[in-house]
Amino acid sequence: MSKLPNSLSKELKSNSKLASAYTAILDIERDIKDEKNLIFCRILGYLLECAPGGKARSLVASEILGCNGDIAMILAIGAWYFEHLDRSFKYTQRKEDSIKGFSQCSAELDEDLSSPDEYLASHSAAEDQVKIRDDDHCLLTGSPDLWRWVKDPDFQERTKDWIPPLYTTHGCHILNHVAESSGDDYSPSAIWDVITRLDCQSALEELQGSQVHRLENMMTLSSIAYTLFTNLMVWLVPVPGEPNTYLVENDYPGLESAGIRLREKVVFTSRDLEKYPVPSPRYLEIHEALAKVANLSGARHYIQDELLPRF
């Protein structure tokens, strides 16, 4: 966990409201010794820099400035975000541990769908489409799908230059925590609570019910890429001036030594954009913001080391 930068980025520090709020956070950071309080403070600092859009950053600044310098009140805001990240990570781990016959990359049941079979059929149809769009390749690693490779000689020929291993791929959601709060420590809606607080409800409304399976909210990923992406360990950063082009970033320099090879850059393509739309920049922006704040603030590492020893 590293200290906050001395100032906001060049394009943001000219905003007096954001700058004032960030200065207040820096002042608090200098006087804090407790590790968790430092994380709460840094969550707010990185939200001012990384929150998804100017409106979200302004809302965070308003909350900070509205505390009128009351350090306990400001840290309580950061603690709220930390607790929701904690609940989200716990829920994701429990979901991965308990999947039995359900698609590995499926979100929890939508309240608009009456049964697991109905949900699975809806997700399965979308998965077929997204894998057509992405040509049965993991978008983050480039790996061809193992089962397609086994069954399809033409696919084998087209992918003959790929260096093994090959992995099974799945149609996965970019944003998938769509259920109502369960009221316990493993709430599937924790991330949506954060998104709502940041006034990004339009995304929530677009992804209600079966709409979570829209292709703009899906990517083809291998099992390991899905685990990294859904646990906010990997995120995508848009390349300015290059539509649908993203850098693949993470805060884990040891991934490659562990045999996990991620692409440096991914370009989303589709042979028919109307029929097979590419991932939404807005959904990816929200995921990127959450991942950056969780990792740069130290929250993810703290939860991993202290609260999720099995992760």
Residues 248-289: pLDDT tens digits? 999 887 887 777 889 999 999 999 999 999 999 999 999 999
pLDDT band at 1 (very low <50, low <70, confident <90, very high): low
Q: What percent of the chain has pLDDT over 90?
A: 64
> Is 259 contained in some domain?
yes
> Is 300 contained in some domain?
no
Say how many domains are in the chain.
Answer: 1
> Is 3 contained in some domain?
no
pLDDT band at 187 (very low <50, low <70, confident <90, very high): low
CA-closest candidate to residue 263, choices 292, 213, 222: 222
User: What pLDDT score was predicted for residue 100?
Assistant: 35
pTM: 0.87
> Is 253 contained in some domain?
yes
- pLDDT of residue 156 exceeding 50, the answer is yes
> Is 120 contained in some domain?
yes
Q: Which domain holds residue 120?
A: 105-280
> Is 188 contained in some domain?
yes
- pLDDT of residue 96 exceeding 80, the answer is no
Alpha helix (H) residue ranges in the chain: 16-31, 35-50, 54-65, 71-98, 116-133, 146-151, 153-158, 190-197, 201-206, 223-230, 281-296, 299-302
Helix 35-50 / helix 281-296 crossing angle, nearest 10 deg: 150
Average of per-residue pLDDT across 60-82: 97
> Is 285 contained in some domain?
no
In this structure, what token pair is assigned to residue 43? 């969550």
User: What pLDDT score was predicted for residue 48?
Assistant: 98
- pLDDT of residue 30 exceeding 90, the answer is yes
- pLDDT of residue 167 exceeding 80, the answer is yes
- pLDDT of residue 162 exceeding 80, the answer is yes
Q: If you write DSSP's letter for every residue of 210-237 in order, what string do you get?
A: GGGG-GGGEEEEEHHHHHHHHTTSEEEE
User: What pLDDT score was predicted for residue 272?
Assistant: 95
CB count within 10 Å of CB 146 equals 16
Q: What percent of the chain has pLDDT over 70?
A: 85
- pLDDT of residue 138 exceeding 90, the answer is yes
Average of per-residue pLDDT across 180-205: 73
User: What pLDDT score was predicted for residue 108?
Assistant: 41
> Is 192 contained in some domain?
yes
